Amino acid sequence: MEPDIDLENKQISNAYRGLLRSIQVELSNEDKRFIRKAFNTSVEAHKNARRKSGEPFIYHPIAVARICAEEIGLGKTSVACALLHDTVEDTHITLDDIHELFGVKVRKIIDGLTKISGVFDYTSSQQIENFRKMLLTLPDDVRVILIKLADRLHNMRTLDSMARDKQLKIASETSYLYAPLAHRLGLYAIKSELEDLSLKYTEPEVYEEIQRKLNKTKDVRARFIRKFSIPIKQELSDSGLKFTIKGRPKSVYSIWNKIHNKKVAFEEIYDVFAIRIIIDSELHMEKADCWRAYAIVTDHYRPNPERLRDWISHPKQNGYESLHTTVMSPTGKWVEVQIRTERMDEIAEKGLAAHWKYKKNIQAIGREPQQIGIDVWIDKIRELLENKDDNAIDFMDELKLSLYAKEIFVFTPTGELRTLPSRATALDFAFEIHSEVGAKCIGAKVNHKLVPLSYELKSGDQIEVITSEKQNPKEAWLSFVVTSKAKSKIKSVLDEERKRVVADGKEILERKLRNIKVAFDDANVQELLKLYKLTDHSDLYYQIAKGKVDFKKIKPIVIKGGRLKHGSITRTIKESFESLIDRVSGKKEELILGEGDGFDYKLSPCCNPIPGDEVFGFITIRDGIKVHRNTCPNAKQLLANYAYRIIKTRWKNQKILEFKSKIKITGIDDIGLVHKITNTISKDMNVNIKSLKFETEDGVFEGDILLLIHDTEHLSGLISELNLIEGIKRVERVEIMSE
Q: How far apart are CA 363 and CA 366, in angstroms?
A: 5
Q: For residue 356, which amino acid is it?
A: W
Local structure of residue 652 (DSSP, 8 states): P
Q: How far apart are CA 657 and CA 34, in angstroms?
A: 65
Q: Which residues contact 170 (CB under 8 A, 6 or more apart)?
A: 155, 156, 159, 162, 201
Q: At what angle do helices 204-216 and 252-262 cross, to 10 degrees?
A: 110
Burial code (b: 16+ CB inside 10 Å, e: under 16) for 420-437 equals bbebbbbbbbbbbeebee
Q: Which of 8, 55, 86, 89 is catalytic?
A: 89
Does 90 qualify as catalytic in the annotation?
yes
Secondary structure (DSSP) of 174-225:
IIIIIHHHHHHTT-HHHHHHHHHHHHHHHSHHHHHHHHHHHHHTHHHHHHHH
Q: How far apart are CA 152 and CA 246, in angstroms?
A: 29
Q: How far apart are CA 660 and CA 672, in angstroms?
A: 26
Q: How far apart are CA 661 and CA 85, in angstroms?
A: 47
Q: Which of 90, 96, 436, 510 is catalytic?
A: 90
Q: Which residues contact 737 (CB under 8 A, 6 or more apart)?
A: none
Q: For residue 130, which amino acid is it?
A: N
Local structure of residue 696 (DSSP, 8 states): E
Phi and psi dihedrals of 278, rounded to 5? Answer: -110, 120
Q: How far apart are CA 187 and CA 195, in angstroms?
A: 12
Measured on CA atoms in the order 205, 211, 213, 216, is the torsion positive or negative? negative
Q: Are 83 and 63 in contact (CB under 8 A)?
A: no
Does 26 qualify as catalytic in the annotation?
no
The closest of 574, 625, 572 to 600, measured between CA atoms, is 625
Strand 334-341 and strand 273-279: the pairing is: parallel
Category of 414 on φ-ψ map: left (φ > 0), alpha (ψ -120 to 50) or beta:
alpha
Q: Which residues contact 147 (CB under 8 A, 6 or more apart)?
A: 64, 68, 74, 78, 81, 82, 85, 109, 113
Could you tell me how far CA 512 lies from the centroid of its own chain?
A: 49
The closest of 428, 413, 419, 421 to 462, measured between CA atoms, is 413
Q: For residue 485, which amino acid is it?
A: K
Strand 273-279 and strand 243-249: the pairing is: antiparallel
Give the residue numbers annotated as catalytic, written as ranges: 89-90
